[in-house]
Amino acid sequence: MSKRTVQFKIYRYDPDKDEKPYMQDISVELEASDKKLLDALVRLKVKDDSLSFRRSCREGVCGSDAMNINGKNGLACLTEVDSLPQPITLRPLPGLPVVRDLIVDMTQFFKQYHSIKPYLINNDPPPERERLQTPEDREELNGLYECILCACCSTSCPSFWWNPDKFVGPAGLLAAYRFIADTRDQATNDRLDNLEDPYRLFRCHTIMNCVDVCPKSLNPTRAIGKIKDMMLRRAV
């Protein structure tokens, strides 16, 4: 790809000076080496240093640069800019309060993550060496532990939009199942109790937006289904 000019429509809001948010039309010339949407955003920021967004690793592992790209949540650093119809419309992740431009307040998202006790619980005295786990048991964690907490999933979920304070959301539930599925964890019953409520788990209506948007190709819906199965089996 050579030099080309790309058109954007970007959600802008600076509470320090703007009465209300607006959509800014702006274009930028990209160099041949600019391949990802994040490269374009960095170019845009050279042009207008007031454009605000989070970014760090630029390789899809830190989870900073999640945003709503042409209506769909994704990571700017993993999105090919040339694959996007123009003008490329960028908005902050939906459903969370906007702090400024593309930056949202993620407090509620992390509150839900923390609510599932996202740490291994094992009350046996720690052995001198590692706890043993078969390769097969370890494989149960694949597709669960890789989550980068970018919030693409939870903020694409209508159930989370309606009840962000009560529904744990796909990211938190994926993490809950990551510990339930870990043979070293001893708190499965407590973890299920913690989700036994009309909202926390059961507000998932398998809409599957989470699966559709996950930049790491994870499947929170399947993890949620497994937790629901365990709940049911436990009940009978």
Partner 1 sequence: MKVAKRTFDAVIVGAGGAGLRAALQLSEAGMKTAVLTKVFPTRSHTVAAQGGVAASLGNSTEDNWHWHMYDTVKGSDWLGDQDAIEFMCRKANEVVVELEHYGMPFDRTDDGKIYQRPFGGHSMNYGQAPVMRSCAAADRTGHAMLHALYQRNVRANTQFFVEWMALDLIRNSDGDVLGVTALEMETGEISIFHSRATIFATGGAGRIYYSSTNAFINTGDGVGMAARSGIPLEDMEFWQFHPTGVAGAGVLITEGVRGEGGILRNDAGERFMERYAPNLKDLASRDVVSRAMTTEINEGRGCGPDKDHVLLDITHLSPETILKRLPGIREISIQFAGVDPIKAPIPVVPTCHYQMGGIPTNYRGQVVIPKDGDVNSAVVGFYAAGECACASVHGANRLGTNSLLDLLVFGKSAGETVVEDFRTGALALKPLPEDAADVSLARIARLEGQKDGENVHEVRLDMQRTMQKHAGVFRFDNLLKEGAELIKGVAARAASTEIGDKSQVWNTARVEALELDNLIEVAKATMISAEARKESRGAHVRDDAPDTPEHPNGRNDEEWLKHTLWYSADNRLEYKPVNLKPLSPNVEPIALAKRTY
Q: Which of residues 138-157 bind partner 1 (CB under 8 A)?
A: 138, 141, 145-146, 148-149
The residues that bridge with 28 in the sheet, in sequence order, are 6
CB 67 within 8 A of CB 74: yes
Closer by beta carbon to partner 1, 77 or else 201: 77
DSSP-derived pairing of the beta strands 88-91 and 4-12: parallel
Site string for partner 1, 182-211 (x = CB under 8 A): x-xx--------------------------
Entry field: residues in the chain: 236
1 binds partner 1 (CB under 8 A): no
State the minimum distance, in angstroms, from the CB of residue 35 to partner 1. Answer: 8
Q: Which is nearer to partner 1, 108 or 159 (CB)?
A: 108
Q: Is 48 in the site for partner 1 (CB under 8 A)?
A: yes
Report in angstroms how near the CB of residue 153 gets to partner 1 at its nearest.
15
- Candidates 25, 128, 165, 236; binder of partner 1 (CB under 8 A) is 128
Residues 6+ positions from 28 with CB-CB distance below 8 Å:
5, 6, 8, 40, 43, 44, 47
What are the angstrom distances between the C-alpha of 6 and each of 13, 38, 73, 81, 193? 22, 13, 20, 9, 51
> Would you list the DSSP string of 119-137?
S----SPPPSSPPP--HHH
Q: Output 64 or 156, the one with its CB closest to partner 1.
A: 64
Pairing of strands 4-12, 66-69: unpaired
What is the torsional sign of CA 155, 157, 160, 162? positive
What is the SS3 assignment for 108? helix
Distance CA 121, CA 138 (A): 16
Q: Per CB under 8 A, does 16 bind partner 1?
A: yes
Q: Tell which positions 19-38 bind partner 1, by CB under 8 A.
A: 33, 35
Site stretch for partner 1 (CB under 8 A), options 88-96, 112-120, 154-162, 165-173: 112-120
Which residue's CB is nearer to partner 1, number 138 or number 234? 138
**Binding to partner 1 (CB under 8 A): which residues in 75-94?**
78
Q: Which residues bind partner 1 (CB under 8 A)?
A: 14-17, 33, 35, 45-46, 48-50, 52-64, 78, 99-101, 103, 106, 110, 114, 117-120, 122, 126, 128-135, 137-138, 141, 145-146, 148-149, 179, 182, 184-185
